[in-house]
């Protein structure tokens, strides 16, 4: 009885993702399962299932649901994958990823955001996610290699330090472009012969900044 369980706005949410071209059923199911209303500010709960980005603490944003679904679909996740996310923010994208792979390491440069995402994800029992306070431009060497890497903050270029972390056959997706303005979502695949780059769609993300934030 999905109609009785799902409030109308959640049904519209699924419909609008499908209408905009998201067709991977596992991705749609993850988008249905993860309660976005628990990742937004309390004052924004009523707007949680609208297709828009919303403000969170530290002047950052939780991405627009369509962009979350699109990036997730483009990653072509498999159950055994180990995934790295740069830019934890609310933890919402990490929660979606965690439904579709084995493990997610997500890195955030603001302590306030890392701490609140960690406790939110623990409360919701997403137990295959590790939240790390750190700098995505400087991932600790001990973190190892990843099957998939997703960057959810705008980078002027994709650093070699990140593509170097891709397993053979691995895929990285990142918004690339100027910090103020429009960026392009870029997908990089590590093939036998090197790195293959494809530009996907235009997007707008908050900037990726170097270093752990000095303010909380």
Catalytically active residues are 63
Helix (H, G, I), strand (E, B) or coil at 183: strand
Binding segment (CB under 6 A) for ligand SAH, from list 21-29, 43-51, 182-190, 205-213: 205-213
Q: Which of 89, 159, 170, 177 binds ligand SAH (CB under 6 A)?
A: 89
Nearer to ligand SAH, 98 or 152 (CB): 152
Distance between CA atoms of residues 75 and 197, nearest Å: 13
Distance between CA atoms of residues 193 and 206, nearest Å: 33
50: tokens are 């609208």
Tell me the closest approach of the beta carbon of residue 96 to ligand SAH, in angstroms. Answer: 8
The one-character DSSP state at 134 is S
With binding defined as CB under 6 A, does residue 74 bind ligand SAH? Answer: no
Distances (CA, A) of 77 to 64, 70, 82, 206: 20, 12, 9, 25
Residues 21-40 binding ligand SAH (CB under 6 A) are none
159: tokens are 């650093």
With binding defined as CB under 6 A, does residue 92 bind ligand SAH? Answer: yes
Interface with ligand SAH by CB under 6 A: which residues?
A: 60-63, 86-87, 89-90, 92-93, 107-110, 113, 135-137, 152-153, 206, 208-210
């Amino acid at each position: 009885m999905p109609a009785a369980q799902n409030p109308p706005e959640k049904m519209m949410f699924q419909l609008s993702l499908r209408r905009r071209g998201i067709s991977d059923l596992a991705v749609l199911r993850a988008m249905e399962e993860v309660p976005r209303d628990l990742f937004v500010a309390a004052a924004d709960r009523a707007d949680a299932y609208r297709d828009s980005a919303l403000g969170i603490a530290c002047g950052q944003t939780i991405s627009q649901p369509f962009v979350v679904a699109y990036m997730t679909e483009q990653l072509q996740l498999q159950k055994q994958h180990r995934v790295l996310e740069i830019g934890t923010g609310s933890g919402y994208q990490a929660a979606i990823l965690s439904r579709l792979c084995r493990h997610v390491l997500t890195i955030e440069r603001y302590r306030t955001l890392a701490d609140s995402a960690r406790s939110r994800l623990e409360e919701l029992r997403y137990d295959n996610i590790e939240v790390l306070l750190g700098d995505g431009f400087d991932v600790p060497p001990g973190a190892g290699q990843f099957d998939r890497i997703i960057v959810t903050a705008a980078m002027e270029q994709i650093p070699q330090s990140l593509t170097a972390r891709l397993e053979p056959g691995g895929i990285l997706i990142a918004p690339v472009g100027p910090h103020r303005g429009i960026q392009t979502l870029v997908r990089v695949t590590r093939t036998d012969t090197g790195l293959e780059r494809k530009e996907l769609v235009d997007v707008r993300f908050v900037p990726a900044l170097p270093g752990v934030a000095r303010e909380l």
